[in-house]
Amino acid sequence: MHYQLREYAYVPYRYAYCLVGTPFSHNPKPTGKRVAIIGAGPAGLTAALDLVRLGHAVTVYDALPVAGGMMRVGIPPHRLPTELLDWEIQQIVDEGVELRLNTWIDDVPRLLESAPDRPAYHAVLIATGAHQAKKLPIRNSNHPDNWLSLQLLRKVCLGEKIDLHGKKVVVLGGGNVALDTSRTVVRLGASEVRMACLESRGEMPG
């Protein structure tokens, strides 16, 4: 149990900090430059905060209905509390970063041109992250009862109801994503969960 305490002890500390509510205080001189960032994940939001503190006007676009990227749709709430993540994102928005969610960008060069609803951007940063899961070269990988871990975690994180009551589940892998998936399917009602990986227990990356 000691490793669990070490791994998760920071969460109550950060959560207590966000409840105190210590806002940032920066008043940079506007540069007149506009920057578009594609992707509201860790990289995109961090860059947005740094840029807005330099005085640039920053708009962050994301195809998802929520900001946070893989922190929000790849890490289950029991490991990264949603309220903590929302609080930190709100601090970034409060500093002047504009968020445009549910917005798919498929033509980057057009952002450098003016449009009816906005002037042209001076620069574009692509920070779309790594949301594409890898399929294993195994038989019947497209069977409807087979899930990709990232696919399952995204559905759970976005609030989709998945009923696994009474199901026996095998999770392939032994890393952090596999552990998150195993703990998640238990919470979804699975009666039995087994993990299968190439490594020995002492070598498991998770």
For residue 3, tell me if it sits in a domain: no
Both 32 and 113 in one domain: the answer is yes
Write the pLDDT tens digit of every residue in 67-103. 999 999 999 999 999 999 999 999 999 999 999 999 9
Tens digit of pLDDT for each residue in 109-146? 999 998 888 889 999 999 998 888 878 888 887 888 88
- Does 160 share its domain with 196? yes
Is residue 153 exposed (0-12), middle (13-18) or buried (19+ Cβ within 10 Å)? buried
**38 in the same domain as 91:** yes
Number of domains the chain is built from: 2
Say yes or no to pLDDT of 7 above 50: no
In a domain, 142, yes or no: no
Q: What is the CATH number of the domain that holds 51?
A: 3.50.50.60
CB 100 within 8 A of CB 60: yes
Asked whether residue 109 is domain-assigned, the answer is yes
pLDDT, greater one: 65 or 18:
65
Instruction: Tell me what pLDDT residue 18 has.
Output: 54
Domain that holds residue 189: 149-203
Task: Indicate whether 2 belongs to any domain.
Answer: no
Question: In whole angstroms, what is the distance from residue 79 CA to residue 84 CA?
Answer: 11
Per cent of the chain over pLDDT 90 is 64
Q: Is the pLDDT of residue 22 over 70?
A: no
117 and 160 together in one domain: no
Mean pLDDT, residues 158-174 taken together: 92
pLDDT at 184: 95
User: Which of 93, 126, 159 is a domain's end point?
Assistant: 126
pLDDT of residue 39: 97
